[in-house]
Amino acid sequence: MKAKEIIARRVAQEFKDGDVVNLGFGIPNAAADYIPEGVNVILQAENGALRFGETPTKDNYNPNLANSGGAPITLLPGAALFDLQTSFAIIRGGHVDATVLGALEVSQDGSIANWIIPGKFAPGMGGAMDLLVGAKRVIGAIQHTTADGQSKLLPECTLPLSAKGVLDLVITELAVFGFQDGKFLLKELAPGVTLEEVLEKTAGEVIVSEDLKTMSI
């Protein structure tokens, strides 16, 4: 199983019945395809959609329906479409139970950098700034290392921050982390992954949970 699928599958297990959830670009959006059967999640897209479902097939694709990243979506019974002002009123009003966002870096104090690499073009932070402070729960979905093997889980972020100390959970293809005493709290290991591997690939300080579990995917 590829790293991105492992992350998306594990992210989907964080959703509870009745949750209003906003999914960011990339890996977070893929979690919509793995929501457990029987769990009724209301997915929200900041461009103005509420209650959408799995990625469409060629048979039910509608070119007029897309999430905020431009990816095609399907609408479920009871779905609503609305303007940007209404969408951000939902976010800023504290009505989003959880948001899942990708990241370039995360740090052991729960900070996240996910919008720009200095010197490279970026269209702006978009709705992330509102989601990071408006959602009741913030989950980071991130590949554990860069393409050249450098850890993305750091003592301090080196890139410009999106928000400081807001993360509740970080899910990678190797492990699941919470936060405790200003450090990463290792809660789960992916199947076949060793504790030594995770510690070696995590640059930030790590506390190992006394109740360390194997990730269910």
Where in the sequence numbering do the catalytic residues fall?
Answer: 46
What is the full DSSP assignment across the chain? Answer: --HHHHHHHHHHTT--TT-EEEE-TTHHHHGGGGPPTT---EEEETTTEEEE-SPP-TTT--TT-B-TTS-B--EEEEEEE--HHHHHHHHHTT--SEEEE--SEEETTS-EE-S--TTS-----TTHHHHHHHSS-EEEE--SB-TTS-BSEESS--SPPSBSS--SEEE-SSEEEEEETTEEEEEEE-TT--HHHHHHH--S-EEEEEEEEEPP-
